[in-house]
Amino acid sequence: MLLNDYIEQVRLHIKEYLPEEFQDVELILQEQRKNNDMLLHGMSLKSPDRNICPLIYLDDYYELHQSGMAAEDTFRLISKNYLIALDNVKFQKDMNFSYDHMKDKLFLCVVNAEKNQKVLDSVPHQRIEDLVVLHRCLIHSSNHHSGSILVNNKLLDEWGISEETLHEQALRNMDRLFTPEFHPIEYNISKMMGIPYHETEAAWRASDMFVLTNKQGYYGASYLCCPDILKWVSERMGGDFLVLPSSIDEIIILRQKDDMDISELQEIVESVNQTAVSDIEYLSDSVYHYDNRDQALSILEENDMQQGMRLQ
């Protein structure tokens, strides 16, 4: 079954798997350009008493069907996840998009510049090497799901503020909206395996690789544009460090050592991106160096520390 045929089957049959209250609501199918210019196919159910509804992307469910799951079982899963998303969203009959209402919900995110080139003309942004800093509004957040909207030039004009004000406000909100998590990679591995891990100072000193993200696991690579967080990481690491871009949601921090083979690190990053990172979560193939003295992040090529953008 082709993707378009699967989406048509969803349109025809998904309400059969939803509660009675959804039988008369309007089903909306729409395409959306997401991070890295990925085109995804979404489904939502527009209810007259809600002006914001969850959007469930159907592409992953189509892949499940292609892998052998019966279409009916994917429909049940879509319905279940839609209802979960519905519970996690705080609906407002008239969503207030004024700056006064939204300013405390602003946050920063970091994405790949080249793969998001099409959107850059329409959004306020800043460059950090081969990355770009965008601004988003957190609409809802829970332990299971977070949702946000991208701030574009039209919204910025309506707010009547400068890009500098937007960026400064979003930066101030980062610590309040998200909780940084910075652990040795052994902690993350143990967590995935359900094995206890005792994060002692000795364990810190013994580890050379760490994971930096936020508790929500949502745009955790955004800390690359947060000077205070990078300075804090540098203090924990005892000076300069290297960054491997794991995804838009997390980054890997390495202790800097004189005998490091940068070309080998670049090969590792490229290999992981090709085999373990989805296209929509891809961040970069570059390896970065953080200079503690200058508080600057720069792309590292071989053993040449290129001058990076100073973080202010």
To the nearest 10°, report the CA torsion of 185, 188, 193, 198. 80
Predicted local confidence at residue 163, as pLDDT: 95
Sequence-distant (6+) residues with CB within 8 A of 240 are 234, 256, 289, 290, 291, 292
Predicted local confidence at residue 81, as pLDDT: 86
Residue type, 144: H
Is 210 inside any structural domain?
Answer: yes
Same domain? For 105 and 9 the reply is no
Is 158 inside any structural domain?
Answer: yes
Predicted local confidence at residue 303, as pLDDT: 52
Please give the angle made by the CA atoms of 151, 152 and 153, to the nearest 5 degrees.
Answer: 130
Task: Give the residues across from 243 on adjacent strands.
Answer: 253, 288
At 158-209, the pLDDT tens digits run 999 999 999 999 999 999 999 999 988 877 777 777 777 777 777 777 788 8
Residue indicated by tokens 């540098």: 234
Residue type, 20: E
Number of domains in the chain: 3
Is 94 inside any structural domain?
Answer: no
Question: What is residue 289's three-state secondary structure?
Answer: strand
Kind and range of the H or E run holding 163: helix 163-177
Predicted local confidence at residue 88, as pLDDT: 64
Same domain? For 109 and 56 the reply is no
Predicted local confidence at residue 89, as pLDDT: 62
| Rounded Cα–Cα distance for residues 271 and 183 (Å) | 23
Same domain? For 195 and 289 the reply is yes
Question: Encoding tokens for residue 39?
Answer: 């085109």
Same domain? For 169 and 220 the reply is no
- Domain boundary residue, one of 88, 110, 145: 88
Is 56 inside any structural domain?
Answer: yes
Higher pLDDT among residues 157 and 192, named by residue:
157
Residue type, 107: F
Highest mean pLDDT among 15-19, 25-29, 152-156: 152-156
Q: Are 36 and 115 in contact (CB under 8 A)?
A: yes
Same domain? For 50 and 80 the reply is yes
Predicted local confidence at residue 308, as pLDDT: 40
- Domain boundary residue, one of 145, 177, 209: 177
Question: What is residue 24's three-state secondary structure?
Answer: coil
- Domain boundary residue, one of 156, 177, 198: 177
At 278-288, the pLDDT tens digits run 888 999 999 99
**pLDDT above 90 (res 224):** yes
Same domain? For 159 and 190 the reply is no
Predicted local confidence at residue 50, as pLDDT: 62
At 60-97, the pLDDT tens digits run 898 898 898 988 899 999 988 888 777 766 555 456 78
Q: What's the whole-number average pLDDT of the chain?
A: 84
Residue-range definition of the domain harbouring residue 37: 3-88
Range of lowest pLDDT (46-50, 135-139, 268-272): 46-50
Same domain? For 8 and 34 the reply is yes
Same domain? For 9 and 77 the reply is yes
Same domain? For 260 and 184 the reply is yes
Same domain? For 249 and 191 the reply is yes
Same domain? For 80 and 136 the reply is no
| Rounded Cα–Cα distance for residues 242 and 257 (Å) | 9
Same domain? For 187 and 269 the reply is yes
Is 93 inside any structural domain?
Answer: no
Predicted local confidence at residue 173, as pLDDT: 95
Strand order across the beta sheet in which 56-57 lies: 26-33, 39-46, 56-57
**What is the 3-state secondary structure of 233-266?**
HHHHHCCCEEEEEEECCEEEEEECCCCCCHHHHH
At 134-152, the pLDDT tens digits run 999 988 665 556 678 899 9
Is 295 inside any structural domain?
Answer: yes
